[in-house]
Every structure is written in C-alpha cells, then in structure tokens.
Chain A
Amino acid sequence: MEDLVEFALKELEKNKVTYAEVRYTHSIGNGIILKNQVPQVGSFEENEGIGIRYILNNALGFLSTNELEKNKIKELIERNLSKVASNKKINDIINIESDKTYKENYEVKQKIKLVDVDFSEKTKLLLDAEKQMRSQGVKITGSFIALGDSTTTQHFENTEGSKIKSIIPRISFWYQIGILENNKVMQRYWPWGASAGFEIVKEWDIPKILTDEVKTMANNLRNGIEPPKDYTDLVVAPQVVGIMCHESVGHPYEADRILGREAAQAGESFVSKEMLNTRIGSDVVNVIDDPTIENSFGYYKYDDEGVKAKKRILIKEGLVNEFLHNRETAYVFKIKSNGSARASDFDKEPLIRMGNTVLEEGDFKEEELFEDIKKGVFVKNFMEWNIDDKRFNQKYVGADAYLIENGKITKPVIKPIIEITTPKLWGSVDAVANNTEYHAGNCGKGEPMQACPVWFGGPSMRIRNIKLG
C-alpha cells in the first residue's frame, strides 16, 4: 500500500498544500463475549483504509476512505479541498510546529501471536474462569465478560519526509459481574489491557482476577460498615490513584482542551496557560504521562503526526509543569510538540490524547501510609466515577474499601464516596508509596468518538482530612 500513500501525498503536493500526512492502516481483530457463562458470539474483523490530513492556505482538512483505489482517493481529495475552500471566510488560521524527519519501522514483539490463538482456546479460558468464579460460594446474579484483540499495522508518511511503519498488537479483557449477598447486590466492571502477545493473558490469570473480585465483593456486603461521617484520612490504592491521575491531571492538561478546540464535545479545562509553574498539589505529587512504557496499553513510539513519543512531566513537585501537545497547539504555545497526537483508527483525525498517565513513586511502603492514621479509610478500587468537563469536580465511589483504625486495616467499609475538587485532592496528598501498578482503560474523546487505549496508575497515596460522602 506504500504506493497509495505516496500517490495521496503527491496529489496533495500538486494542490500546493503546506503540510500533509497520510496514514494507511490495516487491522486484524477478534473478540469473544460471554453472558452468564453462555458464549454469545465470536467476531473477527479485517479492516483497512487510509486517512489523510493536510493544511492548505492555513486551513485544516481531513479525509478518509476504505475505497483503496487511486481514482477514488483523488476524487475524495478534490471533494474535501473544495469543502475546505467553501469555508474560507470562517476557516481558522492553522499553523503547525515543525519537527524532525524520521524513517523507522518498529514492532511490539509477541511470544504467542494474537492471530495464532483461536476461538476455542479463548472460549475455554473464559468458561474455565467463570466456572472457578462460580465455585466460591458467592451468588452471582449476572456476568458479562469479553476478550478482544487487534493487530494493527500502520504506514505513516508526511510531506516533511518522515516514513514510519509500526505493528502494534493489543489485547484486552473486561468483565462486569453482579453478586447477591446479605440481601444486597453489588456490581463491578473492570478492564485489563496491554500491547503484547497472548502470553500477557496467561500472566494476568483471569480465573484468579474473577475469583478475587467476587470474594472481595461478598466480604464487603457481608461484613461492611458505613464509612466515617467526619473529616478523615484516606489511603487510596493504585487503581484509584490511576483514575484520579487520568481524569483530573491528564485530561485538563490536554492543550487542545485548554485552547477550547474540544469545547462542544469533551469540554474545556480549568487549567490555563498562565497556570504553568503554579502550585496545583503538594510537593510530593509528581504525575507523568509516558507512552513509551513497553507493553503498555497506551504504547506508541511515534505519534500520528510523526513526532517521537516521550515521557511528559505534567506535575513536578506539585507544580503545573507541562501540557500534552500536538504540533498545532505546540505552535500556539511556541514550543515543540511532545508527541501526544493519536487517532483511534485510520478514519479519525489525530487529537491530543494521553498514553499512560501515572503518579510517580515516593519512598514509603504501602503499609507505612497507614501507620499514623488513627481513624481513616483505605479505598482499593471503585465503581461509579465521573468528573465535570473542566476537570474540577470529581467523584469516586469505593468498592473494595476498609476502615483504618490506629494504623491497622480492620473492617470493610461500604461505598465510601470521595467527592472533591482537583486542587483539594492533590493539595491534600502528604505521602506516596512505592507500589506502582498499571491499569487499563479506553479513553473517549472527539466527534466521531475515538476510544484510545491507555494505562493509568501509580502507587498508593495518602490524602489527609477529607470528608467522605
């Protein structure tokens, strides 16, 4: 398909574009869904197509098709050029920051190739896990579990001379399980994901994940007490820390939100350019976004504008340090892009997205965080959560949670609710542990919606003097 990519670039150059990039993407995917132990469907896909973005007369155009014939592509380019031209009175003036030229092929290695694992093996794995989960003496009211994978080959070229070919396999597993215990019901949803071969699924140990989940939920419903009503100290575990980093640090630091480009969709940000180098958290808070973590769900080596990915330090010792940029926002901020442009598929424009957003480790062991807490709550994971579209007011409802009394974990706590502003949250952190975990998610942004695979995580952290709902 390289000839089609080059053909598209030449067509655009003939039309005097000042910049263009072309992505050809081919993807093979498979998925299995089980509902209440019954395999519902096995699905497989093989998709390919081309996505083309360009700047002409300082206006931005994007077009995409899966009709991979030169005449069709040429026709579509002409049509989009004409649409862009018709908006000339209201087109924004778009400039992008220049970047280096790269020529590279890279691939995530797989010990067990995803395409070599068939439906029967995957179904057996899920059914065995269900069977084990249901042998724990816990009443399961409903279960919905899925295993999916994709292997995506992308060929990227731009008018600056970059040629980047990548092969990234991704696998994900998720479940939603309900239980009945003590005349109460409880549900938990959680996804797992990585860029890797099928060997990672064996490491995950799906039967243990499901078994631990239902036993924990049952213990909570059987023995749980109400959370403390007064102001109290909290310790939140990596899963909760991760979602907090993603929602209240990663998202508001997306420079396109800050500039208002996503205002009618995913919203804006309480953070402004002027807040760089100002305090947003205590000095033990360091949050990074790093797409280069090997085998991570949000892994990529070059972004979808051909910029080399790197670790971004969003919060440094409690100060707003860096935003996530593409080449367009980098131009506005008069800096270089830090490689945050991602498109979820060939037919989507690249937007500023997180890769893997993580709180950096401190020096404490997790158990040391509890030591001087007289009365507090330890929240290990959560159910419902949300945050406003400026990323200021957020809520997390704990699922697996425990009372801390005199430095020790004692009884389970039912549904502690953390409802807090972003500055209050990060300003109240006084200690960070060294037990980093990574968790997977699919982050939504854009219209049409683009779900991008990400990791979020970090170690446990302690938050002082919070009122729980």
Chain B
Amino acid sequence: MIDTKIPKNILNKLKKEVDDAVIISRTTDSNQVKFSNNKVSITQTWVNNSIAIFVAKDKKIVTTTIQDFRNASIEKSISLIKKNLSLMNPNDEYLGIAEGPFKYKKVEDLYDKEIVNYDFSDKLEAGINKTLEVGAKRTSGLLEASEAEYLLLTSNNVEAIDKSSLVHFSVRSFFDNEASGHITNSSRILKNFHIEKSCQEASEIAVQSKNPQIGKKGAFDIIFSPLAFAPLLDRIGDATSSFNVDARLSFLVDKLNHNIADENIVLRDDATIKNGIGSTKFDSEGVPTQNNIIIDKGILKTYLHNSSTAKKFNVETTANAGLIAPQPWNLVLESIYPLSKEKLFKEIKNGLYVTNIWYTRFQNQETGEFSTIPRDAIFVIKNGEINGCVKGIRISDSMLRILQNIVLTANDPKQIRSWEAEIPCVLPHILVRNVNITTSTS
C-alpha cells in the first residue's frame, strides 16, 4: 500500500501557506525486456517513488517533485516552495482547482497483480519462433510489464487512491531490409494479451511486403491501420486541449460548433473504458472522469478542460486536468456506420494501405499543415485488393483536411499505445480520401 502519512503531512504544512495545493504521490515498479535480431538485448528493472506538488498563492503557481522523503529534505522543499512563490509573477489566467470531496466509480480491469512479476520468457520465445515460422527472418521489439499506485490529495478536500498495471508488447519483424511489419498489443490485465498472435501478424505483414517499388506522388485514398493512424489521432488529441487552443498551437482554434469532419465520424475522450490504457477514476484535481464527446457527427463540440481553463472558457470542466494543461485520457475514434475491414477495402479503387507511420511534424500547428512518413509495409490497393507494395513516400497534408476526408471506418477497434502515439487511442482501420503524397528528389 502506498504511504499516505508523508503526503498528508506535506499537504497539512502547505495548506497553511497557499490558496491551493495538490499532492500526487506515485510509486512505480516495472520490468522490460528489449529484443532485437531474435534475441534479448537487455532486461531492465525500475522502482521509483515520487511526490509531485502543485501550489498556487495569489495566482502565482509553483510545482516541484520530491524524491527524497527524509524530513530535512521535505522541509527544504517546502521552504523553497514558499521562497519561489514569492519570486513568481501571478498567472492571471489561473482560476483555481475543483472543490471536493467527490465519489468515484470503479473502472473495471485496470489492475492485475500478476503482471509485474509475471515470467513472460516462454511466451516471448514462442513469439520469436512464430515470427521465424511464418517467414520473417528477424524480429525486434519490447515487452514491458509494470504497476503503479497513485495517491491524490488536494487542499479542496480530495483524497483518492488508484492502482494500475500495464503490459505492453511491441514487435517489428523483417523479411529483409525493405520488408517489415509492426504490431503492438497493450493491456491493463493479462487476459486477452497475446504475444504469439502479435508476432504472427507482424511477420505476415513483413513477408507480404516483399520487393516494394518506389512510390509515386499525388492524391491517394488511404486506409490507415490502427497503429498507423494513432500518431495522427494523438496530434488531434493535443489540439483539443484548451491550453493549446489558447496558445494557438491547435488547428481547432475557432472551430467550436463547426463542422470539421464527416457526419459519420465521432471522436470521444473516455477515461472510463474498461481495460483502457489511459483510464482513470479521477483527474489531477480529483474530479471524477467521464466520457467526453469531442466531435459528434462531424461537429466539434468541446475542447478538453480542467477547472481553471473551464472557467476561462465559461464552461464546465471535462475532468481532463493536467493542472497546467488539460490532456486526453483515451481517445476513441469511431464511425456511426462502420463497415467490416473487407468492405472498407472494397471502397478503394486505386489507393494505399499504410500500416505504420513515424516522424510526424507540423509546419504550422494553427493551420494543421504537417507531414509524416509511412514506415513498414505500404500496400497498394487496386479494386479493393492488395496488389503489391511501395516505399519512399511521405504524407504531406493538413490535419483539418485529413479530418474532413475520413469518411469511413471499419468495425475493428484496437487499443494502441506506441512509440509515436503517447496518448492512448482506441481506433479501427480508417479510410481517408485524397491524401497528398510527396516523394524525394533522388
């Protein structure tokens, strides 16, 4: 059980000195196996404890993290908090944290006590063997198992505890240097977590993507796999944070109640999803989390807020604190009339199937112009069927155009957390029309 005595002691001391205080105590325990060329390259273990502190006084805000829990060190940190508050300028936009107490509903399947010390070695060996059996020549990736405990205390009568676990598998398999496939699988519980199946899928993609030809520039209809679209959804999620909207680091500025996507499209941020990687009972102020509909039938309905940004925007908090910047928990992209994956492919006469992307960069976050690079297998689709593959292409487009051109999705949602998508996402295969492809001068 996480210690409550030290965090409570810190809160009691700070309450006398400040207007608002939030204490977040966290313990984490993780194991990770990283493998490459069919062998384990390193086995890693981490144990860390920290107490993060947020305080506001006369609208001046200071944050710190304590990792040394001896009395003298805590006293030093509290004294520095007081000193630094006196040296800060006020943040006139700050309008306080939520008033508790609150009641919380349990979110199902967020903790499995077996995960952190589970011995995955046999399963990983079987996965590597499966990769080779299917036909890929080498495989690389990572298997991570962790658990965390989390205590939240605020000066506004919040005391909440949560416990979570996570098992994450990422596998990239190669037929040769030009043909590869990447699959991820993440879960908060061991049930439905399959290493061998992921290895098989990655290997099948690798084998199928042999002999890619240099791709052509132009406008193409593209089906994105869940892994491929997740980094774009991650950037869409960032753009929904009211903090980024305020700084005009968002292509959703001035788009509230505007039609920004096809009427078939719904985007939610839902922290209450069973087994959701980002699911949590409460946000960083202690407000009970909820299911927020961000885009409803193509219309932008809300930005994501904490209590302070909500007051500034004259709305209710969406329970997405982030004390400085609101953040999404689990982004869920879906359509009202989803198709089977097979039917989705039949919608394409002449297009591409992108299975992964990387290095997404904005030219301008306010206009949403960006580019990103398809990586791993890029299949050509002719009349609904896969017909060869390409390499060496780049998607150079605008996020607003991409959003408007998502017209259909499949009915195969998958939970994604990846190297390129920090925000957990749940999304199916997605069809985007007329995506602009560019290529290099060679």
Report which A residues bind B (CB closer than 8 A).
Answer: 33, 35-36, 38-49, 59-67, 72, 76, 79-80, 83-84, 86-87, 89-94, 118-120, 123, 127, 141-144, 176, 178, 185-187, 259-265, 267-268, 347, 349, 383-390, 392-395, 397, 415, 417, 419-421, 423-424, 447, 449, 466-467, 469
Query: Is A49's CB under 8 angstroms from B246's CB?
Result: no
Query: Is A38's CB under 8 angstroms from B359's CB?
Result: no
Check: B64 CB closer than 8 A to any chain A CB.
Answer: yes
Q: Which residues of A are found within 8 Å of B47, using beta-carbon distances?
A: 64-65, 67, 72, 76
Expressed in whole angstroms, the minimum distance between the Cβ of A365 and any Cβ of chain B is 28
Closest Cβ neighbor of B68 among chain A residues: A48
Closest Cβ neighbor of A424 among chain B residues: B442
Bound state CA distance, A90 and B77, in angstroms? 46
Expressed in whole angstroms, the minimum distance between the Cβ of B157 and any Cβ of chain A is 23
Partner of A43, one of B33, B63, B172, B366: B63
Check: B432 CB closer than 8 A to any chain A CB.
Answer: no
Interface Cβ pair total, 8 Å cutoff: 261
Bound state CA distance, A64 and B38, in angstroms? 25
Q: Which of B85-93, B260-268, B406-414 sits within the interface?
A: B85-93
Query: Is B48's CB under 8 angstroms from A59's CB?
Result: no
| Given pairs A67-B47, A264-B170, A415-B363, 5 additional interface contacts (CB within 8 A) | A65-B47, A86-B119, A87-B33, A185-B366, A387-B373
Bound state CA distance, A49 and B44, in angstroms? 15
Query: Is A386's CB under 8 angstroms from B373's CB?
Result: yes
Query: Is A89's CB under 8 angstroms from B125's CB?
Result: yes
Query: Is B49's CB under 8 angstroms from A67's CB?
Result: yes
Bound state CA distance, A386 and B371, in angstroms? 8
Check: B404 CB closer than 8 A to any chain A CB.
Answer: no
Query: Is A447's CB under 8 angstroms from B34's CB?
Result: yes
Report which B residues bind A (CB closer than 8 A).
Answer: 31, 33-50, 60-68, 73, 77, 80, 84, 87-93, 119, 121, 124-125, 128, 138, 140-142, 170-172, 174, 177, 182, 243, 246-249, 324, 358-367, 369-373, 375, 392, 394, 396, 419, 438-442
Expressed in whole angstroms, the minimum distance between the Cβ of B144 and any Cβ of chain A is 8
Bound state CA distance, A187 and B250, in angstroms? 11
Partner of A347, one of B46, B65, B119, B371: B46
Bound state CA distance, A447 and B44, in angstroms? 11
Q: Knowing A44-B84, A388-B373, A466-B441 are in contact, say whether A63-B366 is a contact too (CB < 8 A).
A: no
Q: Which residues of B are found within 8 Å of A43, using beta-carbon distances?
A: 62-64
Bound state CA distance, A405 and B364, in angstroms? 29
Query: Is A386's CB under 8 angstroms from B67's CB?
Result: no
Q: Which residues of A are found within 8 Å of B360, using beta-carbon distances?
A: 386
Q: Knowing A38-B92, A40-B324, A118-B87 are in contact, say whether A176-B67 is a contact too (CB < 8 A).
A: no
Query: Is B366's CB under 8 angstroms from A142's CB?
Result: yes
Closest Cβ neighbor of B38 among chain A residues: A90
Partner of A92, one of B40, B60, B64, B125: B40
Expressed in whole angstroms, the minimum distance between the Cβ of B376 and any Cβ of chain A is 9
Q: Knowing A44-B84, A263-B140 are in contact, say whether A65-B43 is a contact too (CB < 8 A).
A: no
Q: Knowing A41-B61, A41-B63 are in contact, say whether A420-B440 is a contact too (CB < 8 A).
A: yes
Expressed in whole angstroms, the minimum distance between the Cβ of A90 and any Cβ of chain B is 5
Bound state CA distance, A367 and B370, in angstroms? 33
Partner of A60, one of B43, B66, B84, B119: B43
Expressed in whole angstroms, the minimum distance between the Cβ of B147 and any Cβ of chain A is 14
Expressed in whole angstroms, the minimum distance between the Cβ of A118 and any Cβ of chain B is 5
Q: Which residues of A are found within 8 Å of B369, using beta-carbon distances?
A: 384
Query: Is A176's CB under 8 angstroms from B249's CB?
Result: yes
Query: Is B394's CB under 8 angstroms from A393's CB?
Result: yes
Bound state CA distance, A59 and B392, in angstroms? 37
Task: Return the 3 tightest CB-CB contacts between A and B, nearest first.
Answer: A142-B248, A92-B39, A384-B363
Expressed in whole angstroms, the minimum distance between the Cβ of B364 and any Cβ of chain A is 5
